Amino acid sequence: MTIFFHNSLSGKREIFTPAKPDRVSVYVCGPTVYSYAHIGNARAAVVFDQLFRLLRAVYGAEKVVYARNITDIDDKIIAAAREADVPIGDITKKFTKIYREDMGALGVLPPTIEPHATDHIEAMQVMISGLLSRGHAYAREGHVLFDVETYKAYGQLSKISQDEMIAGARVEIAPYKKNPADFVLWKPAKEGEPGWSVPSDWGIEGTGRPGWHLECSAMIEKVFEGPIDIHGGGQDLRFPHHENEIAQSCCAGGGCDEAPLARFWLHNGFLNMGDDKMSKSLGNIVLPRDLLKKWDGETIRWALLSAHYRQPLIWTQKILEQSKKQLDRFYRLMEKFPYSNEAPMEPPQKVIEALSDDLNTPSAMAVLHALRDKAANGDREALSQLRSGGQLLGVLQQNPADWFRRGAQGTGLSDEAIEALLQERRLAKSKKDYGKADAIRETLAEANILIEDGPQGTKWRRG
């Protein structure tokens, strides 16, 4: 199977093959655990989970090593702990657990490795020492900074000049910098903040902590010991985070002759709320934690995969409603056949081919729709392929009865509430109050509950 990905580094569509035939290495920037993940964070998690699933299907689960880190030391974490008046560890443990729960509910598989930043401080310090000794870093006012001027390839990933970088306000202007584009590798710890002592040859005193960009470089080196096959993350990380990762890893001796840190760079597009980006100032932040109170995780996952991963995704109530209706149609078909927990067959080749074309999830979904149509005409093999193809996409894995029962989350009506409304409707009809009976039917229809009157009484089902 030939896999193609759009490589952000080259800007071209390229054939993917792992550097080592017995190992596919993938690293994706994970959460900074200071608060709840928002739906934009969830898009990245779901997209790269889909990549993980594809690679496992093509190369074998045992050959794919997927690392997604946990950033558990950061200014935002320190601020959250101070505001809550609790130890930093309480904040990071709480939101790491919540992140795993929320992403798990969206069908996101656990990564092979989940490195935590605070477990790799020594590796970060070793990398800084190497950068200092090679003349790529300097110490000033308690900070250690990367000297961008010493790395001539800086900007190769983001494709923007240093003037544009500075004008874009994505760099911190500070008096201790030689160049405004220089970035922090190590910063001094303020009173009351966590800090680690530094090697004496750095030329600074006191305790400090690593810069965010350095953390990922050090963890990649520690986990994979050299360049990796694929590095992924959101489009917003392309600059400065990923650009800085490349610079510090290559200059620290990370073996960039073949590729700058990673052979393939994949970035998912932004998620927008209607015409606007999500922001606290606009008050339009959407949390999976809240969505899961009303919508099944498969519905949210289907919605997140409904657009090609590199394209912007407009997030609306309508996209959730449409996703629910599409999944209902699949489950309605599956409901007609005995449900089995037996191991599914291999995923359909056409689904794998669609995903192998730069992770084209809309095309993969179209294959599932075609299989549904075949299965509806009595093709039992198509039904099995539908289930196995759904498994590759992380959906259609529930018992249909459970799916429609959980659909009450979206309607707000439990089975008992529906039966009570039907009893009320029967009573209204017996009193010839047809206006009330029709109003109850409309109430149920708005909740996506379909009713059928017949000689044996009234039957209902979730639409």
Residue 409 pLDDT greater than 60, yes or no? no
**pLDDT bracket for residue 169 (50, 70, 90):** very low
Beta bridge partners, 26, equal 66, 230
Mean pLDDT of 161-176: 68
Q: Please give the structure tokens belonging to residue 329.
A: 């149609």
Mean pLDDT of 393-417: 78
Is the Cβ–Cβ distance between 375 and 332 less than 8 Å? no
**pLDDT bracket for residue 301 (50, 70, 90):** very high
Is the Cβ–Cβ distance between 81 and 386 less than 8 Å? no
Beta bridge partners, 184, equal 145
The helix (run of H) or strand (run of E) holding residue 214 is: helix 212-224
Mean pLDDT of 394-408: 86
Residues 6+ apart with CB under 8 A from 285: 38, 278, 279
Sign for the CA dihedral angle at 433, 437, 440, 442 comes to negative
- Angle at the Cα of 255 (from 249 to 260), degrees rounded to 5? 60
Within its chain, how far is the Cα of 53 from the centroid? 13
Q: Where are the alpha helices (DSSP H) in 253-399?
A: 288-291, 297-304, 317-335, 349-356, 361-376, 380-393
Q: pLDDT tens digit string along 314-324? A: 999 999 999 99
Closest by CA to 185, choosing from 243, 132, 143, is 143
CA contacts within 13 A on the Cβ side of 193: 21
Highest mean pLDDT among 141-150, 437-446, 451-460: 141-150
**DSSP E strands, 58-176:** 64-68, 137-140, 143-146
Closest by CA to 213, choosing from 191, 245, 182, 177, is 245
**pLDDT bracket for residue 281 (50, 70, 90):** low
Residue 10 pLDDT greater than 50, yes or no? yes
* Pairing outcome for strands 262-268 and 276-277: unpaired
When the pLDDT of each residue in the chain is averaged and rounded to a whole number, the result is 91
Residue 215 pLDDT greater than 70, yes or no? yes
More confident residue, 407 or 53: 53
The helix (run of H) or strand (run of E) holding residue 313 is: strand 313-315
Closest by CA to 26, choosing from 359, 399, 252, is 359
Q: What is the pLDDT of residue 411?
A: 53
Residue 440 pLDDT greater than 50, yes or no? yes
Mean pLDDT of 437-456: 81
Class of residue 247 by CB neighbours under 10 A (exposed 0-12, middle 13-18, buried 19+): buried
Instruction: Name the percent of the chain lying above pLDDT 90.
Output: 74
Is the Cβ–Cβ distance between 331 and 403 less than 8 Å? yes
The helix (run of H) or strand (run of E) holding residue 14 is: strand 12-16
Q: pLDDT tens digit string along 337-386? A: 866 666 667 999 999 999 999 999 999 999 999 999 999 998 989 999 99
Beta bridge partners, 138, equal 145
Residue 91 pLDDT greater than 70, yes or no? yes
The helix (run of H) or strand (run of E) holding residue 405 is: helix 400-406
- Would you give the DSSP letter of residue 316? -
Residue 109 pLDDT greater than 80, yes or no? yes
Mean pLDDT of 431-438: 84
Closest by CA to 51, choosing from 33, 25, 22, 12, is 25
- Angle at the Cα of 279 (from 101 to 49), degrees rounded to 5? 35
Q: What is the pLDDT of residue 275?
A: 66
Single pTM value for the model: 0.88
